[in-house]
Chains A and B, each alone.
Chain A
Amino acid sequence: MSGSLFEQDRKTAVRNAAEKRFRAYGLTAIILALLALVWLLISILGNGLPAFRQTMMTFPVTLDAAVLDKSGNRTPEELAKVTTIAYGKVLATSLTAELAARGIDIGALQPKDIGSLISEESSAQLRNKVLADPALIGTVIPFTVLATGRIDGYFKGRVTMASAALDKNTSPEKLVLADKMKDAGILAMRFNTGFFFLPDASDKRPEAAGLGVAIIGSAYMMLIVLLLTLPIGVAASVYLQEFAPKNWFTDLIEVNIANLAAVPSIVYGILGLSFFINFAGLPRSAPIVGGLVLVLMTLPRIIIPTRAALQAVPPSIRDAALGVGASKLQTVFHHVLPLAMPGVLTGTIIGLAQALGETAPLLLIGMVAFVKDFPSAPPQGFFDPASALPVQIFNWTTRGDPGFVERASGAIIVLLVFLVIMNAGAIALRSRFERRW
């Protein structure tokens, strides 16, 4: 090739153009991947952040003894006979009175319609309050109620005057009244602590649905996973890494573990259904079953990084311990394992984070059920029916009321926050304590 180096010949120019295009493809690919991530997060945040604020109404409630305790004896059995519908009427009456007292014009609406602005869940809450403290009957107490899903939707933009005209659950007049109540200070949007502490609510009451049971269920399962996978996973990894002879049997175990880590999670659900529920007779939808299924699923995912952490400890440490006369077991447990601990814990936390987000296997062991009662304290609580965060999200997604879409997205935000904390914790642990040999 002769010719001046200062002149780019044609072929090289073509190749350089191809080079630029190739680089552009690479950069485009990265931008697309990151855009997808951003799109996902913005969509979730946009749909879910409103779940953390809830429309509530506060007004004085007259606990009319004539309605709530006709006999006047205040006996628990008598009081228990009064249904939530009666309490609902009490609330409606009190609210109507308050509106009249404040001079708010209710227009064409009837008192019955006023009652329909209040969530049915609040009637139940009032009833529980009175049954717990019957002395309240006959007094006037300030009480905060939840507005119904449609009113809440109005203030969050889901429901408009136009859609209200077509909706059988609400009407434009009710929305107008809600606006007036907001101006008068009776109605306000407040931080939704109920989202975290209330249990699930029925289909028609998205305003009252909360993650209380799901969070406890997930917490129980994570406890079981942690208590079982850490010792078993470490024990298995120690054996495979430090003691196992190189024969066909060890190969079999290692191949098994590699394959189990890649088996679809739904297969573990089938295993859980067959073995833990049908064969061993454990109760459906219980955290113990969910926990055990997640343990089996997480074990291979913990063994792999634990083995890597053990392998990273240099042989010189083992040689030093053996040289002083420690047995192999003592060498491993007194010297190697403590040094590998940061890596082991990091792998465990990441495995736990993956287990927290798993849904499919939990569906198969019966966790789709609607659970309203909180499970009791462990160990009995492990056998009570419960839900789990991802399953609750799935459950809410399949419900018709659009208020539940917001709830599901809000629950996702809660789940993601937990995951971020766990992963950040794992990374912090790794960077602070991991040694570079």
Chain B
Amino acid sequence: MQLGPLLLLLVILTVFAYIAGRARAISLAGGDSRKLHSLPAFYGRAAAIAAAVPALILIVVWLIVQGPMLESRAMALLDPADITAERSIEAVSADVHRMTGGLNAILRSGQTPSTDVATLTGQLKTHNVTLQGAPTASMIAAATALEVGQHRSRVWLSLLTALVALAGFALAWRQITPEYRARNATERFSMALLIGCSLIAVLTTLGIIASLLFETIHFFQLYPWQKFFFSTTWNPQFGGGSDLGILPLVWGTLYISTIALVVAVPIGLFSAIYLSEYAGSRMRAVVKPAIEILAGIPTIVYGLFALITVGPLLRDWIAQPMGFGNSSTSVATAGLVMGIMVIPFVSSLSDDIINAVPQSLRDGSLAIGATPSETVRQVVIPAALPGIVGAVLLAASRAIGETMIVVLGAGASAKLSLNPFEAMTTITVKIVSQLTGDTEFASPETLVAFALGLTLFCFTLALNVLAQIIVRRYREQYE
């Protein structure tokens, strides 16, 4: 049977196991549930878990293994002569898969698939299956083998699942006695679930690293790593012979992020200083959330703002009159808007850090006759400096990893220029353009996006870890 009904059957079996297990426990206790170690519901739960969990594990493992195994067996039936320069292995296998789906549909509608190529193609068409090229004999054989294999696999899976579920239930049934610690057993299972959920974080990291690393290695097999890291030209070509050097992209990224920090750090830091040292509580209550709003606005909004408002403004009032260029997408545009976005990161974190400096230090300085600004400049900020550096690093990491503002505000041309009013692109923009373009997936032009992604990931990770180390060392000073 199909997956949906199979899961439904499993659910029914589980519910049955729960009811039966619970009833058994109560009956063994002679109808008096107080004689049981745990509440009756726990016995039911234990039985249900025993029925459901092994069966679910079986289904998951089976489905993971089934795909590749059946596929490799079917593809082995393909005639190597069918794979030519015009029809790559990916195209052929895609057609085989489509045929399999078509065969399935034909069978389900009660017809028999024809062995004649022309009739078969007609049959497939009536079930809305169109192939890229003409099906060959070996392809038909492969598709048939795949279809038969899938059908048989489904049958076996359904049988085994039911069997495993019933076996699990039987085992649990035998264990049910009034002394059986059902609650502890179910709680052990719950704990396992909790731990599993916590592991998702680790799994995600592993997944990110694996997905990046895999395809990056694939990329470096197709393109020399020296050229990637050291070439100063970025010029992907459709047919091959591309230049894929990361340096212009790194330059654009760092240039824009630097401008963003130049905007955000003074404004954010001075806002934080004013709010924590000078502002009254009413002003704080209004201004602090207002600045936080800047952090909650989605980056696509900033991107559009850069494209239609800031870009033309900078071009018409500064770049054109001063002869710096006439592009509305530029480093200055993206940098300015990104700076605005990053202000709350700097100001919020700095505010927390400045507030953490003990009041006794401020009192000591004021008592000597220092003005509040001297106290801030010479006592509070030096004391808070590691934390502030950490905040700036985190803001830098955010700016470097930002995508939408640069996609819309910085343009797509990769160059190494000092003119901030020229369009210069970044790593993130190129990741998007190379992965959403028309080039084939296995080509270096597409795979380079993974290498770019890995570089970006490592760089931002290093910044984040450095920021955490600095902040942690700072906290030790005051604990």
Question: Hey, which bits of chain A sit against chain B, CB under 8 A?
Answer: 15-16, 18-19, 22-23, 25-30, 32-34, 36-37, 39-40, 43-44, 47, 231-233, 235-236, 238-240, 243-244, 252-253, 256-260, 262-268, 270-271, 273-275, 278, 281, 296, 299-300, 303, 327, 329, 353-354, 356-360, 363-364, 366, 368, 390, 393-394, 397, 405, 408-409, 412, 415-416, 419, 423
Q: Per a CB cutoff under 8 Å, which of A32, A231, A233, A415 touches B267? A: A32
Asked if A19 contacts B371 (CB within 8 A), the reply is yes
Would you list the 6 A-B pairs with minimal beta carbon distance, nearest first? A264-B401, A357-B298, A26-B274, A274-B211, A29-B270, A22-B373
Q: Is B167 an interface residue (CB 8 A)?
A: no
- B interface, over-half SS: helix
Stretch of B13-21, B100-108, B289-297 contacting A (4+ beta carbons < 8 Å): B289-297
User: Among A260, A363, A405, which residue has its beta carbon within 8 angstroms of that of B201?
Assistant: A260
A85→B387 CA distance, assembly (Å): 67
B460 within 8 A of A: yes
Q: Does B376 contact A (CB under 8 A)?
A: yes
In the complex, identify which listed stretch (B140-148, B235-243, B303-311) lies at the interface while the others stay far away. Answer: B303-311
**B187: Cβ under 8 A from any A Cβ:** yes
Stretch of B112-120, B126-134, B190-198 lying at the A interface: B190-198
Given contacts A29-B270, A419-B296, list 12 more A-B pairs with CB under 8 A: A25-B270, A29-B274, A256-B204, A260-B205, A275-B211, A299-B201, A329-B190, A357-B300, A359-B300, A360-B428, A394-B303, A423-B296
- Contact (A23, B278) CB under 8 Å given A232-B200, A240-B198, A244-B198: yes
CB distance from B206 to the nearest CB of A (A): 9
Which residues of A sit under 8 angstroms from B401, Cβ to Cβ? 263-267
A30-B275, A40-B305, A299-B201 as given contacts; A368 in contact with B428, CB under 8 Å: no
Given the interface pairs A34-B290, A265-B403, the reply to whether A259 lies near B465 with Cβ below 8 Å is yes
- B residues within 8 Å of A by Cβ? 67, 183-184, 187, 190-191, 193-195, 197-202, 204-205, 207-208, 211-212, 214-215, 266-271, 273-275, 277-278, 287, 290-291, 293-294, 296-305, 307-309, 340, 343, 347, 371-374, 376-377, 394, 397-398, 400-404, 407-408, 428, 431-432, 435-436, 441, 449-450, 453, 456-457, 460-461, 464-465, 468
A355, chain B: closest CB distance, angstroms: 10
Point out the residues of chain B lying under 8 angstroms from A23, CB to CB.
Answer: 274, 278, 373
Residue of B nearest to A353 (CB): B296
Interface secondary structure of A, over-half rule: helix
Assuming A232-B200, A266-B428, is B274 touching A327 (CB within 8 A)? no
| Chain A residues in 8 Å Cβ range of B204 | 256, 260, 271, 296, 299
- A contact residues around B293 at 8 Å (CB): 37
Residue picked from B208, B304, B432, most chain A C-beta under 10 Å:
B304
B371→A15 contact, CB < 8 A: yes
> Which of A47, A238, A267 has the most chain B CB atoms inside 10 A of its CB?
A267
Question: Distance in Å from the Cβ of A419 to the closest Cβ of chain B?
Answer: 7
A357 touches B436 (CB 8 A): no
Q: In the complex the two chains form, is A271's CB within 8 Å of B207's CB? A: yes
A29 touching B271 by the CB < 8 A rule?
yes
Instruction: Decide: A15 and B450 in contact? CB cutoff 8 A.
Output: no
Q: How far is the CA of A296 from the CA of B183 in the complex (A)?
A: 32
Q: Is the CB of B305 within 8 A of A267?
A: no
With both chains docked as a complex, state the minimum distance between the C-beta of A324 and any C-beta of chain B, in angstroms: 15
In contact, B202 and A33 (Cβ under 8 angstroms): no
Docked-complex contact A15 and B374, CB < 8 angstroms: yes
In this complex, what residue of A is CB-closest to B267?
A29
Closest-CB distance, A18 to chain B (whole angstroms)? 6
CB pair B211 A270 closer than 8 Å = yes
In the assembled complex, the CB of A42 is this many whole angstroms from the nearest CB of chain B, namely 9
A69 to B: closest C-beta gap in Å? 29
Count contacts between A and B, CB distance < 8 Å: 237
Chain B residues lying within 8 Å of A37, measured Cβ to Cβ, are 290-291, 293-294
Which residues of B are found within 8 Å of A265, using beta-carbon distances? 401, 403
| CB-defined contacts of B212 to chain A, threshold 8 Å | 267, 270, 274
B301 touches A239 (CB 8 A): no
Nearest B residue to A23 by beta-carbon distance? B278
Contact of A232 among B191, B197, B211, B297 (CB under 8 A): B197
Q: Are the C-beta atoms of A264 and B201 separated by less than 8 Å?
A: no
**Chain B positions within 8 Å of A359 at CB level:** 298-300, 403-404
Cα distance, A147 to B303, chains bound together (Å):
30
Provide 24 A-B residue pairs closer than 8 Å at the C-beta atoms, listed in order of the A residue: A22-B377, A23-B274, A26-B270, A29-B271, A33-B291, A36-B340, A40-B340, A44-B305, A47-B308, A231-B197, A232-B197, A258-B468, A266-B401, A266-B432, A267-B456, A268-B208, A274-B215, A327-B187, A360-B299, A363-B436, A415-B298, A416-B297, A416-B301, A419-B296
Residues of B within 8 A of A270 (CB): 208, 211-212, 431, 435, 449-450, 453
Q: Considering only CB atoms, which chain B residue lies closest to A257 in the complex?
A: B201
B308–A259 CB distance below 8 A:
no
The interface residues of chain A lying within 8 Å CB-to-CB of B201 are: 236, 253, 256-257, 260, 299-300, 303
Q: Which residue of A lies closest to B290 (CB)?
A: A34
C-alpha gap A136/B199 in the complex (Å)? 62
A38 to chain B, nearest CB (A): 10
- On chain B, the residues within 8 Å of A327 by CB distance are 183-184, 187
Q: Residue B408 contacts which of A299, A300, A397 (CB distance < 8 angstroms)?
A: A397
Interface-central residue, A19, A33, A265, by most chain B CB under 10 Å? A33
Which of A22, A235, A258, A271 touches B211 (beta carbons < 8 Å)?
A271
Looking at A15, A22, A27, A356, the one whose CB has the most chain B CB atoms below 10 A away is A22
A407 to B141, CA, bound (A): 52
Interface residue from B208, B305, B435 paired with A43 (Cβ < 8 Å) = B305
- The residues of A that contact B190 with a CB separation of less than 8 Å are 329
A26: chain B residues within 8 A (beta carbon): 270-271, 273-274, 277-278
Pairwise interchain contact B404-A360, C-beta atoms closer than 8 A = yes
Across the interface, do A33 and B294 meet the contact criterion of CB distance under 8 Å?
yes
- Give chain A residues whose Cβ lies under 8 Å from the Cβ of B398: 262
